[in-house]
Amino acid sequence: MSSEVTVRWLGTNAWEVTGNGATVLVDPYVSRTYTGATVPGEFDPDTPITVDEGEVDKYVTAADSILITHAHFDHIADVPYVAAKTGATVLGTETHLNLLRAMDAPDEQLAQVGGGELYRFDGYTVEVFRSSHGVSGEHKTLLFPGTRPGAVPKRPRKIKDLVEGGSLAYLVTFGETSLFFNGLPSFHEREVAGVEPTVLFMQGPNPNYPDYVERMLAATGYPPHIVPTHWDDYELPLDEPAVDLFGAAALGELVAAASPGSEWVLLDHLESHTFGA
């Protein structure tokens, strides 16, 4: 089995991972609906959920697995269309999958996980870890909190209807090359300890989490390669250069200080990089 893996950044926390003839997508969201979220005072939680099928068709052509980290609009809004288009297996929590069912995702392709699972697919494995979404402000509030267990809810119409629904991280392994996707500014330190991936995908620092970067790097064994994720203005066009809205530059400085032996791999929109070659 080959250990060569190529990743391509589709903006936000969306990644295309290819190796051994297989394609894995992480949070494949490319519609980039304008909600005002990246402009102070303009965020509209009542923004209708929209899927730009033309953009999805332009950038997403195939998938064997789709991995969902959480259910906010900028992570799962495009997933029902992508799943139907590709026939991929979709991994997510009960809430993630119920929201996808409510948006007409193919039910037979949905695989419920909660953390602790290790699945073998053709050419790669996926291990699932519990995680936590970042919080903000003095009172540590979570954007669109909540779960949707049990019965499938009414179809989500507005972005506020896509609640967080629990958060997950994933270790995807092709041969000797492993990639740990933690697209959240938080993590479960004791669960992650000892993972030691080849490549770590991580967000920038959050003031609510003391020494987040240093603790993450120590817990994952100071990975050989570190890739920043979810740092762009995710409402600007994907075919334009990424704007550093969420601290990629600051993260790079912290990584250089805490793990000088790690390669810092900063990718722009639609850029690719190959590991394990």
At 107 the pLDDT is 97
Q: Which residue has the higher pLDDT, 186 or 171?
A: 171
Q: At what angle do helices 212-219 and 248-258 cross, to 10 degrees?
A: 50
Alpha carbons 20 and 178: distance in angstroms, whole number: 13
Nearest to 27 by CA among 152, 164, 119, 144: 164
Q: How confident is the model at residue 185 (pLDDT cuts 50, 70, 90)?
A: confident
Alpha carbons 95 and 187: distance in angstroms, whole number: 19
Average pLDDT over residues 33-56: 95
At 189 the pLDDT is 92
At 29 the pLDDT is 98
Q: Domain 5-275 sits in which CATH superfamily?
A: Ribonuclease Z/Hydroxyacylglutathione hydrolase-like (3.60.15.10)
Q: What's the mean per-residue pLDDT of the chain?
A: 96
Contact 252, 228 (CB under 8 A): yes
Contact 80, 87 (CB under 8 A): no
Return the structure tokens found at 7: 């990743």
Please state the pTM of the whole predicted model: 0.96
* pLDDT exceeds 80 at position 191: yes
Q: Which residue has the higher pLDDT, 205 or 149?
A: 149
Return the structure tokens found at 145: 């909190």
Q: How confident is the model at residue 135 (pLDDT cuts 50, 70, 90)?
A: confident
